[in-house]
Amino acid sequence: MPDTPRAYIVDDDSAALKSLLALLRARRIDAKGFSSGEEFLKEYDLRWCGCAILDVRMPGMSGIELLAELKEMGSSLSVILVTAYGDVSLAVEAMKAGAIDFLEKPYSQEELLAALVRGFDVGDAAARKSEMRADAREKLEKLTNREKEVLELLAQGMTSKEIAQQFGRSPRTVEVHRNRIREKTGAQSLSDLVRLIGAA
């Protein structure tokens, strides 16, 4: 299971970082702060869920570079980017990189909290999707290579008879494979199996 949702703030401005942590904790939002992207990555765990608030311009790794790194790692954290030097091209770059919001300092508490609520919603959905993907992959890993081949052909809409002809086996043998696939994956129907493949 993923960890409890939390706000992760990365900002090299210690005063801004303390202020933001105090604001979130006063609103009973679990929050943790980091002074750089490098410091964040040293502690980062893929099981973390919630929302990261990243300052765009920092010494070393920028907020956008950290966002790209998180995406590369398959993180389910949603990301809000903040900057004191906002411009349209930077906002476009941030959104293309996968940020769910882009705030220009000084932002209001209401703006930030509204963005954070959206971030938690998006992050929660991403964490659930990530969990479903891991569960689907785990189930599919239980299958033998032949069962995986049969499953692929079933998902393409082939009948047991057609699959049997392709493998030079009897339809009965294919039915045995189908039953084993259902047992190992817990799927009750062909549509369940198709969804399982899609989730993985």
Highest averaged pLDDT of the listed ranges 24-33, 82-91, 159-168 = 24-33
Give pLDDT, residue 127: 64
Q: Residue 1 above 60 pLDDT?
A: no
- Residue 74 dihedral angles phi and psi, to the nearest 5°: 85, 25
> Which pLDDT band holds residue 178 (cuts at 50, 70, 90)?
confident
158 or 69, higher pLDDT: 69
Give pLDDT, residue 37: 95
Predicted TM-score of the model (pTM): 0.63
Q: Residue 123 above 80 pLDDT?
A: no
C-alpha to C-alpha distance for 40 and 35, rounded to whole angstroms:
8
**Quick one: tokens of 49?**
């869920």
Percent of the chain whose pLDDT exceeds 70: 94
Average pLDDT of the segment spanning 48-71: 92
Closest listed residue to residue 76, CA positions, set 44, 42, 43, 123: 123
Q: Work out the end-to-end distance of the chain between its first and last CA atoms, rounded to an integer number of angstroms.
A: 17
Give pLDDT, residue 2: 44
**Quick one: tokens of 152?**
């692929």
Give pLDDT, residue 61: 92
- The per-residue pLDDT for range 64-89, each reduced to its tens digit, is 999 999 989 888 899 999 988 766 67
Average pLDDT of the segment spanning 124-140: 75
9 or 130, higher pLDDT: 9
CB 2 within 8 A of CB 50: no
Q: Residue 134 above 80 pLDDT?
A: no
Average pLDDT of the segment spanning 106-111: 86
Which DSSP letter does residue 130 get? H
> Which pLDDT band holds residue 4 (cuts at 50, 70, 90)?
low
What is the average pLDDT value for the chain, to the nearest integer?
86
